[in-house]
């Protein structure tokens, strides 16, 4: 497959279907527990794929997450499920990812799964 075909396929598959969710947690719970709980909260009945990151902010010690969720569910449904998880996030923002951002994330994941460079 050419790079142009890969880009086009990514847009067709993920355009308007990738939700980006960012959360802030002020908790002493281990970041690995939060990562697992986020994965489970993202996994609704129409989930195709999810990837994300978990980091600790240095200035206040809060744990931040950013997840890309490929699904046919509504943004509000996914956000509500995440907002209701335990430990409860202090802040949840969710919206449809820009096509370019979704293409970059899913393209990078595909590159890694295909074995590298």
Q: Please, what sign has the CA dihedral across residues 53, 54, 58, 60? A: positive
At residue 4, the pLDDT reads 46
At residue 8, the pLDDT reads 47
Per-residue pLDDT of 26-42, as tens digits, reads 999 999 999 999 999 99
Count Cβ atoms below 10 Å from residue 10 Cβ, excluding itself. 19
* Architecture of the domain defined by 17-101: 2-Layer Sandwich (3.30)
DSSP notation for 30-81: -HHHHHHHHHHHH--TTEEEEEEEEEE-TTT--EEEEEEEEESS-HHHHHHH
Q: Where are the domains of the chain?
A: 17-101
At residue 5, the pLDDT reads 41
At residue 57, the pLDDT reads 93
Q: What is the pTM of this model?
A: 0.80
pLDDT under 50: residue ranges of the chain: 1-8, 10
- CA–CA separation, 23 vs 99, rounded Å? 21
At residue 107, the pLDDT reads 81
- With a pLDDT cut of 90, the percent of the chain lying above it is 56
């Amino acid at each position: 497959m050419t790079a142009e075909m890969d880009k086009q396929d990514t847009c067709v598959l993920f355009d308007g279907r990738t939700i980006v969710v960012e959360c802030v947690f002020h908790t002493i719970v281990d970041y690995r527990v939060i990562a697992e709980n986020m994965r489970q909260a993202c996994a609704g009945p129409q989930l195709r794929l999810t990837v994300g990151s978990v980091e600790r902010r240095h200035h206040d010690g809060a744990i931040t997450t950013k997840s890309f969720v490929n699904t046919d569910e509504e943004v509000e449904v996914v956000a509500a499920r995440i907002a209701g998880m335990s430990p409860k996030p202090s802040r949840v923002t969710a919206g449809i990812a820009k096509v370019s951002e979704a293409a970059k994330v899913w393209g990078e994941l595909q590159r890694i799964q295909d074995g590298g460079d």
